[in-house]
């Protein structure tokens, strides 16, 4: 069984996701690779989470 919650936050995505994942076993985010990191395989939010989150970051393609 997996417990899933749905919440809406306002603010910078990296900061809010890292704060929401403080006590999580993992954080799962989609990756589009758009924005400032178009040449990379990950987007700027995933890149930021890899440096800020204190749990594993799992990425899934959105397309």
What pLDDT was estimated at residue 13? 93
How many Cβ atoms from other residues are within 10 Å of residue 28's Cβ? 12
What pLDDT was estimated at residue 40? 60
What pLDDT was estimated at residue 51? 94
What pLDDT was estimated at residue 30? 85
The model's pLDDT over 4-62, given as tens digits with 9 standing for 90+, comes to: 878 898 999 999 999 999 999 999 988 765 555 555 677 888 889 999 999 999 988 77
Q: Are the beta carbons of 31 and 21 closer than 8 angstroms?
A: no
Domain locations in the chain as residue ranges: 13-61
């Amino acid at each position: 069984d997996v417990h899933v919650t749905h919440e809406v936050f306002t603010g910078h995505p990296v900061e809010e996701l890292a704060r929401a994942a403080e006590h999580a076993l993992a954080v799962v985010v989609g990756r589009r690779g758009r924005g400032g990191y178009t040449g990379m395989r990950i987007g700027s939010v995933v890149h930021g989470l890899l440096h800020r989150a204190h749990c594993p970051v799992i990425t899934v393609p959105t397309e």
